[in-house]
Amino acid sequence: MHIAALHQPSQVQLNQQGNLKHFLTIEGLSKESLTKILDTAQSFLDENNNLINRPLLEGLTVMNLFFENSTRTRTTFEAAAKRLSANVLNIDIARSSTSKGETLRDTLWNLEAMAADIFVVRHSSSGAAHFIAKDVCPNVAIINAGDGRHAHPTQAMLDMLTIRRETKKPFEQLSVAIIGDIKHSRVARSNVAALQTLGCKDIRVIAPNTLLPVGFNEYGEHVRLFNQMNGGVTDCDVIIALRIQNERIDSPALASQSEFYKMYGLNKERLALAKPDCIVMHPGPMNRGVEIDSSVADGDQSVILKQVTNGIAVRMAVLALAMQGQLQEQGLIEAISL
């Protein structure tokens, strides 16, 4: 399948009123747009970090189209949709008509004809969600649940919500370190974009050169590279450890699990170099003893489980905001005070 070029993502993602129509990538969205997502997600959490159900999408249908496996992301999107009272359909792509020779376009058009309102799409090809939103199903809201190495915008926003709730500091005052496989990580790319848009001026990327993307210097002036852990984590407010994908191990990019842990594993000694109130994050699933030690993952500074809860709130927010225009047209806007 040929994936369309990623041109002017903000124009595709926003409607004429400047509200969210699709959520495909962080790039191209303003600080105000990201803050609206965070504020809306915040409204779905009480002071004890418990989720609040709101029947904003009652009668609407959300289809989860996962061309690439991810139980955690699919499950949290399903939980988010159900907490908004939407109908949820999980389409088994491996058994769908695409495996019988039907084109992706035809499959999507048939699903759109089933009166779907939102497609949550995960795909191994970069740009897939953009392609579907722009060229195939522009009348259905498309939420990108991860596409190739390109983007994972809801993961970035749940990370931003976690940072905002747990540090209680403005993004402009934070030092954030991202550790691991930057080259193959859509999470890293989306997080860097979100942090920059929200005003963070000290973003540290810690990785060996073999795990850095081509054109790393294009990330921007506030992103610094560290090849050594100690310098990178010193005085940080936030540390995000990325999952090392098993297929990278024993390759030219990564010699072995033990070697990576020796050089870049987050343990108690390295965490002690950060600020005393530094929080530890991980997008999951974790490889304990590879990118992070169990004593850190389960320690007092870890907010990894809170990320999961915040992920449902963020996905509730994105689903609700993507339907805001439709609800306005139906005269239901009073039911969705965002």
* Annotated binding residue 152: yes
Helix axes of 153-167 and 186-197: crossing angle, nearest 10 degrees: 50
* Predicted confidence band of residue 256 (pLDDT cuts 50, 70, 90): confident
Tell me which DSSP letter residue 134 carries. I
Q: Does 288 show up as a binding residue in the annotation?
A: no
Q: DSSP secondary structure string, 282-326?
A: --S---BTTTB-HHHHTSTTB-HHHHHHHHHHHHHHHHHHHTHHH
Residue 18 assigned ligand-binding role: no
Phi and psi angles of residue 244, each rounded to the nearest 5 degrees, phi first = -85, 120
Residue of 107, 272, 253 whose CA lies nearest to 183:
253
State yes or no: pLDDT of 71 exceeds 90: no
* C-alpha to C-alpha distances, 308 to 89, 144, 264, 271, nearest whole angstrom: 21, 17, 24, 22
pLDDT of 333 > 50? The answer is no
What is the pLDDT at residue 250? 52
More confident residue, 101 or 275: 275
For residue 276, count other CB atoms closer than 10 A to its CB: 6
Query: Is 73 marked as binding a ligand?
Result: yes
- Whether 87 has a pLDDT exceeding 60, the answer reads yes
pLDDT tens across 169-225, in order? Answer: 999 999 999 999 888 889 999 999 999 999 999 999 999 888 887 776 667 789 999
Q: Is 25 annotated as a binding residue?
A: no
Q: Which CATH architecture has domain 9-152+309-335?
A: 3-Layer(aba) Sandwich (3.40)
pLDDT digits (tens, 9 = 90+) for 15-54: 888 889 999 999 999 999 999 999 999 999 998 889 999 9
Quote the CA–CA distance of 39 and 324 in Å, as a whole number.
Answer: 15
Q: Which amino acid makes up residue 26?
A: I
Q: Matching CATH topology for 9-152+309-335 and 153-307?
A: yes
| 186 labeled part of a ligand binding site | yes
For residues 212 and 194, give the distance between their C-alpha atoms in angstroms, rounded to a whole number. Answer: 19
The fold for domain 153-307 equals Rossmann fold (3.40.50)
Closest CA to 242 of 210, 211, 268, 214: 211
Q: Do the annotations mark residue 122 as ligand-binding?
A: yes
Are the C-beta atoms of 41 and 161 separated by less than 8 Å?
Answer: yes
Burial 72-102 (b: 16+ CB within 10 A, else e): ebbebbbbbbbbbebbbeebebeebebeeee
289 is in an annotated binding site: no
CA distances from 1 to 103, 129, 138, 272 (A): 9, 13, 18, 48
State the pTM of this model: 0.91
Nearest of 76, 72, 62 to residue 142 by alpha carbon: 62
**Cis amide prior to 285 (ω within 30 degrees):** yes
Render pLDDT for 167-180 as a digit per residue (tens, 0 to 9). 999 999 999 999 99
What are the boundaries of each domain within the chain? 9-152+309-335, 153-307
